Structure 1
Amino acid sequence: MTLSFESARAKAGWRLLLAWLLLNALLLTPELPWAGFPPHHWLALEAPLLIGLLLLLPPSRLRRWACAAVALIGVTIALGALGDGLMQAMQGRSINLYTDVSLLPILIELLVANLGLPLTLALTCGLGLALFAVGWALTALLAASHRPPLPRGLGVVLLAVGAGGLALQHAGRLESTPIGSPALGFVTFEWQRALETRNALAAFGGELQSDPGARALPGLAGTDVVLGFIESYGVAAIEREPFADEIRPRLAQVQAELAAAGLSMVTGRVTASTLGGQSWLNHATLLSGLPITSQLRFELMLNRHHSTLVDDFAASDHRTLAVMPGIIRDWPEGRQLGYDEIHTADSLGYRGPPMGWASMPDQFTWKRVGDYLDAAAASTNATTPASRATFAELATLSSHAPWSPVITLVDWNRVGDGEVFSRWAGAGDDYASLWQNTEAMRAHYAPAIDYALQAAAGFAERQVGKHTLMLILGDHQAAPSIIGPSPGKDVPLHVISGDPALLEGFLHNGFRPGALPPGPEQAIPMSQIRALLHRIYAAAPALSRPAAAHGS
């Protein structure tokens, strides 16, 4: 009988050891996104602390629930570490649970768009089942380790080890040892940042209340203004190898071709609000003049009806136009921003095949913008005052991850409704393999940016004249997993016009002639571009400009 009892207690001890190892592994996961494998620490002090507390509980339903709670803590920590790792790889920052939870619907939509609904469901269910299996196994091991009961003294020892270790760590005595508390550090960090974020959002609410309202831009009266965002176009494409080998010669060629067409070009360096994604936050940052760094800020800005460049150009007697091929459903945010006219994927009239992730290629999008500008100019000359011009904002898609397929420009006169792009039908659709192949995506990145620049330059040659101001900028850098660690958030801003006088103000504010951006010391926060435009174009030109005339 004694041997049987001792054998059962030995089995309970082995189950407890396995439970400890599994819980310890889960509690170490917060280190993996920044330290990699193996982790910096090998022993998580939270594990003996939690298991010691469980051993001190008397056998009861409460203890079974406590075992499940400990398992839930471990799985939740691991899930948070997974999210942190994804955020580090895609946006070069740690996860902020206070603001990033609102991104879950957007993440699911992105997965469906890239992987398809069946694969997204399979991956989501697979992850859920894996986490459930780990949690169930840990719960079972913890509960079984109490049958028969282990000595309560073991619980006291484990509790003392955990609590004492945390005290020594707080005193700085464990800094050079493989013992730490990464899970507690992760939770503490997120809690403190949640409080800081809440305070920052409250302060941001004060900024929203100090909205100066719409302000006209007299220096752009009668001038068409085109604001184009190139997806994933950051300065890393120009300054880091191997991408620079392809992009710098392209920029030199673009500069030469624009000069031959009688156009002037200056380039600045702008610090975006995000890295690796969330393009709409950078669009909103530039338009509003506020640092829109999270979805919560974006929603606050919209709900408070803060004025933007859209309102400023409307006050300058411009038509306001949004061309957003990436929007595939209703876009209430666009209506809240107050554009006179909005064109999304369904209303652009594209009849060609999708281009991988992109609903349509950049050349088609730029051609449509040119068509709308021409139509507006014809309407202006026929029915409205001579000062009427257009402000058009667009966001291109061809250089969106996973940067496949990479196509070439077609004859602009044959773009039509997009059927000319049918030769690329079916290309680049294997998203699952693309997203798993980082090297292939790296190889496609520079060619995709190259194509995007060619399309934008082709539009400029055809549409930009003395009464047009064109601003082309990246919405954000590509993900660090593609362009390398610590890329920063700087993006190029190219400004083009047939009237050199329109560009002089930029040269006095850190921009330089040509297509290459200045160094990081000249970077301007994207939230200050709206104010920069107002400084440059606060006064009407000495001679009033005639009606907007494209290419003249």
Structure 2
Amino acid sequence: MPVITPFHRPPGAAGTAEDPGSTPGPAAPPTLGARLRHWRAWRSRHPRTAAAVRGTTTALAAVLVLGALLLPGSLAALEPNRFARIPVEAVVAAVLLLRVPRVPRLVLAALFGAGLGALTVLNLLDMGFTEYLGRGFNVVLDWGLLDDAHSYVADSMGAAAAAWAAVGAVVGVLLLLVLMTLAAVRLGELLAAHRERAARGALTAATVWMTCAALGVQTFGVPVAARNASAAVQAQARRAADTLRDEAAFAKEAKTDRFGATPGAQLVPDLRGKDVIFTFVESYGRTALDDPVVAPGVGRTLDTGTKALAEAGYRARSGWLTSATYGGGSWLGHSTFMSGLWVDNQQRYRTVTAGDRLTLTEAFRRTGAWDTVGVMPGVRKAWPEAEWYGLDTVYDAFDVGYEGPRFSWSTMPDQYALEAFQRLEHGRERDRPLMAEIILTSSHQPWAPVPELVGWEELGDGSVFDGIEARGVRASDVIADPARSKEEYGRSVAYSLTSLVQWLERYGTDDTVLVLLGDHQPPARVSGSGAGRDVPVSVVARDPEVLDAIDGWNWTEGLEPARDAPVWRMDSFRDRFLTAYGSVPHPTRG
């Protein structure tokens, strides 16, 4: 028997003819042709199973395509009856695919599937935008807001959750496009394989569709004859065209300003010597006073606040403003209120902030009689709009000395932001009165965790809030639960309002004038489907002449406006306010 060494292998041992001592590498992957031959052989051996697989694949393809064609653009319309209809686009596509040769048919089916996948993505975006912002997705303007949505998720639920959400969204979109394309190709080939029966079926479907459309036939309360996909494409195209036309018209409108050329000496002369503070409370909308779950707590807070302020010598008048935005986009509400223009989209915002439109805050700076300050705890990057707003000094999230925990999206509790304003500006010795714009963010969604009030002397650098944040409700426990969202929303608004009332009681003077308002309604999961855009607005002062000047506004006594109090568009407030306090119009023309 021969001796086996590493250099001597017996017959049949591992090795190759070229190199008997080598170790074989990995087997080459099978070619596409080999895979197809294997699949055909498997189908021959298992005909019933293969038929079941083909039938299931075809059924899934049909469900995917028909579901996409019938998908509505809002969550409120997402009901089973919406899918018991005949989409005209399916009939037209079937006729076209039956009339072309194989190669053009494959190309046409692939393009149809990819287009349907893209339309499905837009419909899903429409659902999300309608749910949160009360309007559909704008293909011209809104892509940048997806980055804001990513930042919101990161701020609310952490960077890891935001990263996974972004990856999931990208993978989901790509998978949807691929599956929809494959499904359309699959159905196109099926039609070609059964051309005569498919032609008869298409003719029958077309006849039924036209008959149902002509007679208005309905099933389960919706028309049988559907044209969802083409209507969605038309809506997106019309929205894009309207956006492009609006740009030039709005730029011209922005240059027409009733007070655009008014000299500083003739602006708000009746408020000379007053500290005027414009304060926005995030998501403080009519829902806070109308919803049966939210209203009792917020109503008690406003009633208690009105009484507390009265004891401190203050009176208030309140009404309603219709915001230019809903559910989010606070900067659109802020700029509408300050500029006197209807700023309801990002294009308009860019246009107005790039111009020289007179804002309420700039009006005070133009007089030379006020120091102008902004307190913006939600700002965490460069904010060039400060110059347009007319703010000499801006304190962002990093400028107020806060060392405590974040409360989800909100970088700090409102109580701390107000105390920082007092310490840094309002409480200082100064030669001129102060005009301030303050944004309170604790009532920003997802309303978890909500801060708690502490002693004003205990605020320090904000570390006192560590324990409060740690034992608070988690954002993930609230976001997906509408009932819980309402409860926490109400708590957050009550917290913000109480913080502001206590600040005014503690630090306000005979010369303090407070304008308090919401920027927009909360999203639909709190305000409900079809909610309006009204937000409360109040003017608070000790000096009776300040409130006498707006007596003709017919606003309600106290911090809570009556349900039938006057409702104005938010863009009308600037001119009414300037006029009430003695400003003289000097128009500019576009």
TM-score (norm 1): 0.88
Q: C-alpha deviations, 1:77-114, integer Å up to 9, x for none?
A: 22122112112221233333343334222222222222
Identify the match of residue 182 of structure 1 among 213, 219, 228: 228
Identify the match of residue 364 of structure 1 among 416, 419, 429: 416
* CA distance 1:208–1:31, shift in 2 (3 Å): closer
* CA distance 1:160–1:463, shift in 2 (3 Å): farther
* CA distance 1:405–1:15, shift in 2 (3 Å): closer
Contact 2:138 2:236 in 1 (8 A): yes
CA distance in structure 2 between the aligned counterparts of 1:469 and 1:100, rounded to whole angstroms? 37
Which structure 2 residues correspond to residues 381-396 of structure 1 after superposition, within 5 A? Answer: 388-396=432-440
Q: Does 1:213 align with 2:257?
A: no
CA distance in structure 1 between the aligned counterparts of 2:366 and 2:317, rounded to whole angstroms? 26
Q: CA deviation at 1:9?
A: 11
Q: CA deviation at 1:217?
A: 1.1
Q: Does 1:119 align with 2:161?
A: yes
> 1:238 aligns to what SS in structure 2?
helix
Q: CA deviation at 1:444?
A: 0.9
Q: Does 1:256 align with 2:311?
A: no
Q: CA deviation at 1:460?
A: 1.0
Contact 1:289 1:527 in 2 (8 A): yes
* Bigger mean CA deviation after superposition, 262-271 or 418-427: 418-427
Show the counterpart of 2:177: 135
* Bigger mean CA deviation after superposition, 197-206 or 467-476: 197-206
Identify the match of residue 282 of structure 2 among 225, 231, 255: 231
Identify the match of residue 495 of structure 1 among 512, 515, 539: 539
* CA distance 1:272–1:169, shift in 2 (3 Å): farther
Which structure 2 residues correspond to residues 373-412 of structure 1 after superposition, within 5 A? Answer: 373-376=425-428, 378-380=429-431, 388-412=432-456
> 1:290 aligns to what SS in structure 2?
coil
Q: Does 1:80 align with 2:122?
A: yes
Q: Does 1:46 align with 2:98?
A: no
Q: C-alpha deviations, 1:274-293, integer Å up to 9, x for none?
A: 11111110000011010111
> 1:531 aligns to what SS in structure 2?
helix
Between the two proteins, the alignment pairs up a number of residues equal to: 528
CA distance in structure 2 between the aligned counterparts of 1:521 and 1:267, rounded to whole angstroms? 8
Q: CA RMSD in A?
A: 2.8
Show the counterpart of 2:404: 352
TM-score (norm 2): 0.83
CA distance in structure 1 between the aligned counterparts of 2:51 and 2:496, rounded to whole angstroms? 68
Identify the match of residue 341 of structure 1 among 393, 406, 423: 393
Q: C-alpha deviations, 1:283-311, integer Å up to 9, x for none?
A: 00011010111111100101223221122
- Counterpart amino acid of residue 312 in structure 1: A
Q: Does 1:450 align with 2:501?
A: no
CA distance in structure 2 between the aligned counterparts of 1:478 and 1:159, rounded to whole angstroms? 47
Q: C-alpha deviations, 1:489-517, integer Å up to 9, x for none?
A: 11111211110110122231131211221
Show the counterpart of 2:526: 482
* CA distance 1:506–1:143, shift in 2 (3 Å): same
> 1:379 aligns to what SS in structure 2?
coil
- Counterpart amino acid of residue 115 in structure 1: M
Q: CA deviation at 1:480?
A: 1.8
- Counterpart amino acid of residue 193 in structure 2: L
Q: Structure 2: which 5+ runs fail to align?
A: 1-43, 585-590
CA distance in structure 1 between the aligned counterparts of 2:140 and 2:213, rounded to whole angstroms? 26
CA distance in structure 2 between the aligned counterparts of 1:478 and 1:221, rounded to whole angstroms? 36
CA distance in structure 2 between the aligned counterparts of 1:264 and 1:10, rounded to whole angstroms? 77
Show the counterpart of 1:325: 377
- Counterpart amino acid of residue 223 in structure 1: K
* CA distance 1:11–1:226, shift in 2 (3 Å): closer
Show the counterpart of 1:524: 568
Contact 1:49 1:158 in 2 (8 A): no
Identify the match of residue 58 of structure 1 among 95, 98, 101: 101
Show the counterpart of 2:244: 198
Give me the identity figure in percent.
Answer: 28
CA distance in structure 1 between the aligned counterparts of 2:579 and 2:209, rounded to whole angstroms? 55
